[in-house]
Amino acid sequence: VQHLKKLLDYFSNHGQIALPAIEKTHLNQKESFEELAEVMLPWAENHLGEDWVKILVDGYIYMLMDVNRSQAEYERRGKYLNKSYDDVFKSVYNDSKFMDLYHWGVFVCTFAWEHHVRIYNLYRDAFLPSLNLKEGRLLDLGCGSGIWSFLATHFLPQWTSQGIDISKKSVELSTTMAKSSGLESKVKFREFDALSFKGTKKYDAAISCFLMEHLEEPQRLLQNMASNLEARGYAFIAAALTAAEVDHICEFRRESEIVLMAEEAGFRVVSMYSSAPLCHPDSQKFLPRALGVVLQKRKNDIW
């Protein structure tokens, strides 16, 4: 609660533009919002030191402005600005200042955006309870900040997670945060392509949160996830639909596109939730959404 108060106080003084929406999320999703903040903010403080509040707020405001700008451009153009990884690499992934700000912006929106909190609710309430409570090995493809791995091992302390990300910067940041928070024995990170990584043995469960929209061929991610997973093992994926950001290149328009990709990769859908902001202007053509899906790898044609 002390960490959350510090963050909200700083927003009220230095990030007023973002505060009303965050307060609304807090009001509507009080239990999950506070649960996430109370777990995540000490991790950020351990990693960032005394400037942690400023860094989180600066990163979130920077990301919010970029998202709003990208969505407005998307409405005007009718399609995403970038279409290839090479386009994005030049303007985004090779810019260490941008990556640092964006990293912490994404970190905060896990609990600051209500439609993302609802995806977290699905993860906590439908995916994690399906896993063996005693122990297991989790694979996190496109782990980014590592937050979904950290949360999994927080709720399932006997589990370990292997995070894979192509971004050297992301792997460095998440590895340092694991060490500073005393989680390095549970969560490991490795710089590698999520589309081609092969574990030495099959994993008990797998996750990939908000990577698909960054890929030219997202079906390859689901195929590789299935190939690394034990038969009947559970998986969780999250993806953005008609939600423009500077590094989003795969434009999903319908939830069924992702469901069909998952089924073709060898999964069955266990549960899913498509989450959109509650107050989106009716005049807009595109509705930005986050889709969360709990999957199970089939052993035969049916299940």
Q: For residue 7, what pLDDT is reported?
A: 98
The whole-number pLDDT of residue 87 equals 86
Q: Rounded CA gap, 193 and 187, in Å?
A: 18
Of 288, 290, 291, nearest in space to 67 by CA:
288
- Cα–Cα distances in angstroms (integers) from residue 200 to residues 27, 43, 138, in the given order: 45, 30, 13
The residue extents of the domains of the chain are: 2-111, 114-297
Written as six digits, the tokens of 49 are 């030191």
Assign domain 114-297 to a CATH class: alpha beta
- Residue 54: both structure tokens together: 């400023």
Amino acid at 213: E
Tokens of 243: 């939600």
Give the pLDDT confidence score for residue 281 in this predicted structure.
94
The predicted pLDDT at position 286 comes to 99
Give me the pLDDT at residue 217, please.
97
pLDDT score recorded for residue 132 = 84
Local confidence pLDDT in tens for the 303 residues of the chain: 899 999 999 999 999 999 999 999 999 999 999 999 999 999 999 999 999 999 999 999 999 999 999 999 999 999 999 999 888 887 777 777 888 899 999 999 999 999 999 999 999 999 999 998 789 999 999 999 999 999 999 999 999 999 999 988 899 999 999 999 999 999 999 999 999 999 999 999 999 999 999 999 999 999 999 999 999 999 999 999 999 999 999 999 999 999 999 999 999 999 999 999 998 999 999 999 999 999 999 999 999
The torsion defined by the Cα of 252, 254, 257 and 258, in degrees rounded to 10, comes to 70
The secondary structure of the chain as a DSSP string is -HHHHHHHHHHHHH-TTTHHHHHHHHHHTHHHHHHHHHHHHHHHHHHHGGGHHHHHHHHHHHHHHHHHHHHHHHHHHSS-S--SHHHHIIIIIT-HHHHHHHHHHHHHHHHHSHHHHHHHHHIIIIIGGGS-SS-EEEEEET-TT-HHHHHHHHHSTTEEEEEEES-HHHHHHHHHHHHHTT-TTTEEEEE--TTT---SS-EEEEEEES-GGG-S-HHHHHHHHHHTEEEEEEEEEEEEES---TT-------HHHHHHHHHHTTEEEEEEEEE--SS--TT-S---EEEEEEEEE-SSS--
Angle at 48 between CA 106 and CA 88, to 5 degrees: 35
Say what the pTM is. Answer: 0.97
